[in-house]
Amino acid sequence: MPRSREFVEFVLEQMAPFGRVRARAMFGGFGIYRDEHIFAIIVDDRLYFKTDAATRGEFEARGLSAFTYIMRGKPVTMSYFEAPPEVFEEPDTMQHWAQMAYATAGRTRKAKPPGKTRRRAAKPKK
C-alpha cells in the first residue's frame, strides 16, 4: 500500500480552516485527528470520513463506498466512507464533511475503562 506523504500534507492543508488537525501513520495508512478524536483516515491516497448510523445515509446516497480490507481471507468493512471529490475543490465543502465526521467521532468514541490505581501500603506508625 503506498503512503503518499504529499497527499497527506495536501489533505491537512485543505482542512486547515477546520482547525488544528494532524496525521499519524497507522496500519499502512494515516489517521487524521483533531484534538484526540480520529475522524478520518487516508489509505492508498484516498480520504475516508468516519460515519455512524446518523451520517452513513448521506454517504450512501451519493454512491460513496466504505473502506474495506481483507483479514484472514474475509472482507472487513469499517465505519469510514470515501470523501466526495468536491471536498478537494471547495473549502466550504471540506469544512462541512470534516465537521460531520468529527461530530461522529465524538459520538462514537468509546469510553476508556477506568485505570487501575495502585494503593500504597500504609507505613507502620512509629
- In the prediction, which pLDDT does 28 show? 84
**126 in a domain, yes or no?**
no
- In the prediction, which pLDDT does 123 show? 54
CATH number of the domain at 13, please. Answer: 3.30.1460.30
**65 in a domain, yes or no?**
yes
**Grid coordinates standing for 51?**
460515519
**113 in a domain, yes or no?**
no
- In the prediction, which pLDDT does 57 show? 95
- In the prediction, which pLDDT does 117 show? 44
**Grid coordinates standing for 20?**
488544528
Q: How many CB atoms lie within 10 A of CB 100?
A: 18
**Grid coordinates standing for 82?**
470515501
**114 in a domain, yes or no?**
no
**39 in a domain, yes or no?**
yes
Q: Specify the number of domains making up the chain.
A: 1
Give the H or E element holding residue 104. helix 91-108
**121 in a domain, yes or no?**
no
Give the H or E element holding residue 67. strand 66-71
**118 in a domain, yes or no?**
no
Contact indicator for 98, 84 with CB cutoff of 8 Å: no
Long-range Cβ contact pairs of 107-110 (< 8 A, separation 24 or more):
107/52, 107/54, 108/50, 108/52, 108/79, 109/37
**117 in a domain, yes or no?**
no
pLDDT in tens, the chain (126 residues): 445 889 999 999 999 988 899 999 988 899 999 998 999 999 999 999 999 999 999 999 999 999 999 899 999 999 999 999 999 999 899 999 999 999 999 988 753 444 444 445 555 555
Q: Which pTM was predicted?
A: 0.82
Domain that holds residue 22: 5-107
